[in-house]
Amino acid sequence: MSENRLPILPVLKDLENQARRLFEIERSTTTLEDARTVVANHYGAENWQRLESACQLAEALWKDEIEMVKRLIERDPSLVHEPVLIRENNWGPPLSYAATAGSPAAVTLLLEAGAEDIDYALRRAVLKGHIRIAKLLYRSLGSPQPPDDALAGPAYTLDVAGTEFLFEIGARAVDPDGGQRSAPVDVVLETDSRKPDAKHRILELYVENGLALPDTPVMALHRGRIDLLEKLLVDYPSLLNRRFTHNEIYPPELGCHDEVLATQGTPLAGTTLLHLCVDYDEFEIAEWLIARGADVNARATVAPTASAGTRRCFARPFRSRTSGRTMATARGAFDLPNFC
């Protein structure tokens, strides 16, 4: 069997079934215990007992079963310092796993048991917006100044509470000495998360903490600022149906990347504001644009490398996942073939 990683919440019964299937295939040359060992090794465990402990510990942390967590680490204290899912992964040792899952009681228990991954656990708690846990871990570290990249975690998940907490404890949007940008605007714009209200608030938090953002139509859309779009429309009536370049959508000066990295593989260069509303679930701005005459059948610019007649299309659905509404108005739904 090739190497593999356990899922975030592994189910022991499923792993037992894997072992039994392997045993049935190799019955003439192996035993069930040998098949279990093969499955355990496949997931990075030295034996079946270690794999069993991983499943039990993950389930106990996930379900906030503190007594079970306590029994497991008392039986094998080394579990406190090893990745819960055996192989290295984002969820880390038990403390970080508990911080990610959102279990204050488990975090307290593991701190008392000598867990050492406090800094990483703090990052995970902030990433997920578990502020009660974040405060506990922050105090355990001695209330240090957040590192320059601290804001990146909640920027990726678009977590407002995590971002607010970091600013409360001293995170900076701009380096006070050199004036360099510290706020990860690129992460906020390029993340595959789609939570418009949270995205708007995080960008405003950056501005409130000293960051200057460009006064452009696309940035106004990113910020959810219809008031800024109103002002720009007065001076530039053509912006309703204008096609924007990649660098206008993802400004390099804000740390944004090339077309592949910045857009999760779906380039947006050559699109209108209305196209961007679909990709970013900006329902209210889409309604505003249509009400002011934006062309719902506008086509994106054909990519230079595309075959004749090919248009850039989007992998995203036209139903807003955040609002549950489809992008349609009293003036009619978007024409799907021409909107792509």
The answer to whether position 128 is within a domain reads no
The answer to whether position 74 is within a domain reads yes
**319 and 218 belong to one structural domain:** yes
Q: What is the pLDDT of residue 328?
A: 45
205/197 Cα distance (integer angstroms)? 12
Helix axes 48-62, 94-101, angle to 10 degrees: 30
CA distances from 173 to 74, 153, 251 (A): 43, 14, 17
The answer to whether position 125 is within a domain reads no
**325 and 220 belong to one structural domain:** yes
Q: What is the pLDDT of residue 29?
A: 86
**189 and 248 belong to one structural domain:** no
Residue spans of the chain under pLDDT 70:
1-2, 265, 302-340
The answer to whether position 135 is within a domain reads no
The answer to whether position 123 is within a domain reads no
**337 and 218 belong to one structural domain:** yes
Q: How many structural domains is the chain composed of?
A: 3
**236 and 153 belong to one structural domain:** no
181/204 Cα distance (integer angstroms)? 15
155: closest CA among 120, 122, 189? 189
- Chosen domain end from 165, 185, 213: 213
Average pLDDT value for the chain: 88
The answer to whether 32 and 20 are in contact (CB under 8 A) is yes
Q: What is the pLDDT of residue 262?
A: 83
**205 and 243 belong to one structural domain:** no
**280 and 294 belong to one structural domain:** yes
**288 and 335 belong to one structural domain:** yes
**330 and 233 belong to one structural domain:** yes
The answer to whether position 140 is within a domain reads no
**246 and 270 belong to one structural domain:** yes
274: closest CA among 241, 233, 323, 320? 241
265 φ/ψ angles, rounded to the nearest 5 degrees: 85, 5
The answer to whether 320 and 327 are in contact (CB under 8 A) is yes
**37 and 109 belong to one structural domain:** yes
- Chosen domain end from 183, 213, 243: 213
Report the first-to-last Cα separation within the chain, whole angstroms: 43
The answer to whether position 242 is within a domain reads yes
Residue-range definition of the domain harbouring residue 103: 1-115
Q: What is the pLDDT of residue 323?
A: 47
- Chosen domain end from 213, 244, 263: 213
Amino acid present at 18: Q
The answer to whether position 127 is within a domain reads no
338: closest CA among 289, 245, 279, 271? 271
**181 and 92 belong to one structural domain:** no
Burial class of 89 by CB neighbour count within 10 A (0 to 12, 13 to 18, 19+) = middle
